[in-house]
Amino acid sequence: MITFMFNGERQQLDVAADMPLLWAIRDHLKVNGTKFGCGKGLCGACTVHLDGAPTRSCVLPVAAVAGRAVTTIEGAEHDPVMTALRRAWIEYGVPQCGYCQSGQLMSAAALLNGNSRPSDEDIDSAMSGNICRCGTYSRIRKAIHRAAATLASPGDTAGIEQYAGAGFGNFVELKAVAVAPAGAREEGQS
């Protein structure tokens, strides 16, 4: 039996100790915002936070998280940094197919939690392990800068509430918001 904190709640799993954490999250806990890409620790699609650090869940045995805290994109839903990132993601139309975006956001959140005003080089370094086949890298960089600026200016919260309940696991929904005419966005339509 493996006991750990999962998205803020104590969780116990009776699974093989060498099962990849990603399998435990998706197949046993039925939480599917974290994606499978390469299965070899190379693409970043499966990124979660382990005690706050970005971690590739496809190559981490579930036994390694015993007594530790795992957070997925779902568990970060109401985190202020993630909310600012999500708003910026939409503002810059980052998600394309959306498949990599859960992992991208988790890496971006870990970056901003440790570095509130990252440079381009900081961003490129922190995000280098997250691959996007749709080539959204330049938008991701802009959106991280935007989120950092928003977090640095507490008064600049216009629009954050609009996205606070948007589903992290469904970037089709986020993309629909992102591509809506500017007027519709301002009116909260999608």
Positions in the binding site for ligand FES (CB under 6 A): 36-39, 41-46, 56, 58, 95-101, 132-134, 136
Least distance in Å: CB of 86 to ligand FES?
A: 15
Given the complex with ligand FES, which of 95 and 118 has the nearer CB atom? 95
**Residue 107 CB, nearest distance to ligand FES (Å)?**
11
Write out 34-83 in H/E/C secondary structure.
CCCCCCCCCCCCCEEEECCEEEECCCCEHHHHCCCEEECCCCCCCCHHHH
- Signed CA dihedral, 68, 72, 75, 79: sign only: positive
Q: How far is CA 40 from CA 20, 21, 45, 47, 129, in A?
A: 11, 13, 11, 12, 12
> How many whole angstroms separate alpha carbon 17 and alpha carbon 40?
18
Q: Give whichever of 60 and 84 is closer to ligand FES, judged by the CB atom.
A: 60
Minimum Å distance from CB 59 to ligand FES? 6
Q: Which is nearer to ligand FES, 35 or 87 (CB)?
A: 35
What is the closest distance, in whole angstroms, from the C-beta atom of residue 91 to ligand FES in the complex? 16
For ligand FES, the closer of residues 82 and 132 by Cβ is 132
